[in-house]
Copies of this chain bind each other. A is one copy, B any other.
Amino acid sequence: MPGAEVAQARRGRSSLRQEVADEIKRHMLAHRMRPGDLLPTESELCATLGASRSSVREAVKSLAALDIVEVRHGHGTYVGGLGLSALAESVTFRGLLSPDDDFRAYADLVDVRELFERGNADGIVAALTPAHLDALDDLVTEMARHPAGGEGFTAADRAFHTLLVEPLGNDLISQLTQAFWDSYATVGPHLDLVTPGDERQTLAAHHRAVVDAARSGDASAFAAAIGAHYAPVRGRVAAARGATGRP
């Protein structure tokens, strides 16, 4: 017998697992729970929802993949951080799975990353504080001290782009920026893109130009500097497209 409570509300509808997942979300909303709050144990969910442990576990696992819940072994199940790690994973996999379609997924990624910074030029330049600018400068120095593509450079680059949009105060944009940076950094190395040595040398300089433009308060100059930062990547993609066949 497939339980009672949920099963009853499941006549001709979707799978029991989906119903259980929806019920768990409803529970979180009804109790106005916050990230980090403790959810009922699996056994309790089984009893409450009238489903077997397998079904409950599978439902919980799909919610965990979306960062809606977080499961800690031997501890319990908690409300998740609701971050966009799921997005990053999905977009990354998309890029890895179709590397031969003219690098389209990768190029799309670059466009979106640029949009977040260039399209918010006014807001970013207006909201950046001297403290922000100094921190950005330090990160550029950090980049210049490490070889491009290395550990230190990569970490500084991620922090740079995160900090750049942070003053906007838009949490969604901040998380999207990080998710897309992660995808970009993961997909890139799997592509056959040729990065000339002299281009590696100018990477830190491009970032420095962005900070300088921001410090000057000139939104147009800032937008142009952002454009110059992303232009080389587009050039590499175009070069690879030309090389691999497409006329």
Contacts and interface: CB of A to CB of B under 8 A. Distances in A.
A83 B97 CA distance: 13
Contacts of A104: 171
A115 interface: yes
A118 interface: yes
Interface string A116-141: 10111000000000000000000000
A17 B111 CA distance: 35
B112 A115 contact: no
A215 interface: no
Interface in A196-213: none
Contacts of A54: 54, 57
A145 B241 CA distance: 46
A109 interface: yes
A82 B98 CA distance: 11
Nearest to A173: B112
B112 A170 contact: yes
A29 interface: yes
Contact of A15 (B59, B73, B93): B73
A61 B17 contact: yes
Sort chain A's interface into a size bin: 35 or more
A86 B90 contact: yes
Interface string A168-199: 00111100100000000000000000000000
A87 B89 contact: no
Nearest to A73: B15
A119 to B, nearest CB: 3
Interface of A: 15, 17, 25, 28-29, 32-34, 54, 57-59, 61-68, 73, 82-84, 86-87, 89-91, 93-94, 96-98, 104-105, 108-109, 111-112, 115-116, 118-120, 170-173, 176
17 contacts: A15-B73, A33-B97, A58-B61, A61-B61, A62-B64, A65-B66, A66-B86, A66-B93, A82-B90, A82-B93, A83-B90, A84-B91, A86-B90, A109-B172, A112-B173, A115-B116, A115-B119
Top 9 nearest A-B pairs (CB, nearest first) are A119-B119, A62-B65, A108-B172, A65-B65, A87-B87, A82-B94, A58-B61, A86-B86, A108-B170
